Amino acid sequence: MNQWCFSRQALELHSPSRSYDLSEQRVTVVLTYCSYLRQLGSKLRLHHLTIVKATMFCHRFFARQSFAKNDWYTVATACIFLAGKVEDSQRRLKDVVNVAFGNEIQHHIVNQMVRSTINPLDMRERDEFCREKGRVFKDQKRKLIIAAKRLVLKTMQFDLDVQLPYKTLIAALRRLSEEKITGLGSLRLQM
């Protein structure tokens, strides 16, 4: 049996989040990270199958890890970065960080500027300050995503083979439509 096929009962009874009494919040978190992955994937202009694969990676990760111990936002971002590599639609880590954490980076820089002693009217000093703080913050986020990617890989036991149902469904629909066409042709011949 596939190690990634779980019954509803098994998920509910053995969920890592259950010990933290988060089983009721699980649906909300899953819907939230799925929506986030669609938005992030769209902003990064990733193919739909890459986004679906990232979603499957997140599902696999949180089937074995707790929501309480792991930030879903960071894990989902790492999963989309990893799925891009697997699907040969890789985006640079720098781009993923900029898109995923862009607003957070801006808020961080503004907060740092308010607390600092720089002159906001001196454009050169302000720009240099923003570049330096932004670089440091982005570097922290890059390291965080790399660490999360490693954790995702270890949790999934490096099993990156996700069998998506699309190919099987398309093949079945083609066979069905061919059977209908063939069936209609034989009906016409009999009349």
DSSP assignment string, 50-81: HHHHHHHHHHHHHHHS-TTTS-HHHHHHHHHH
Residue 139, pLDDT score:
92
Residue 189, pLDDT score:
44
**Spatial contact of 58 and 76, defined as CB atoms under 8 Å apart:** yes
Quick one: average pLDDT of 175-179?
79
Per-chain mean pLDDT for the chain: 81
Residue 187, pLDDT score:
45
* Whether pLDDT at 184 is above 70: no
* Whether pLDDT at 190 is above 70: no
Residue 191, pLDDT score:
44
**Spatial contact of 133 and 112, defined as CB atoms under 8 Å apart:** yes
Residue 123, pLDDT score:
83
In the chain, count H helices and then E strands.
7, 0
Q: Which residue shows structure tokens 């009874």?
A: 13
User: Rounded to 10 degrees, what is the CA torsion of 112, 113, 115, 119?
Assistant: 160
- C-alpha 177/C-alpha 68 separation (Å) is 48
Domain 8-160 has CATH 1.20.950.20: no
Residue 175, pLDDT score:
83
Query: Percent of the chain at pLDDT above 90?
Result: 31
* Whether pLDDT at 18 is above 60: no
The domain ranges of the chain are 8-160, 165-191
Residue 55, pLDDT score:
92
| 45-97 pLDDT per residue, tens | 999 889 999 999 998 898 888 888 888 889 999 999 999 999 988 899 999 99
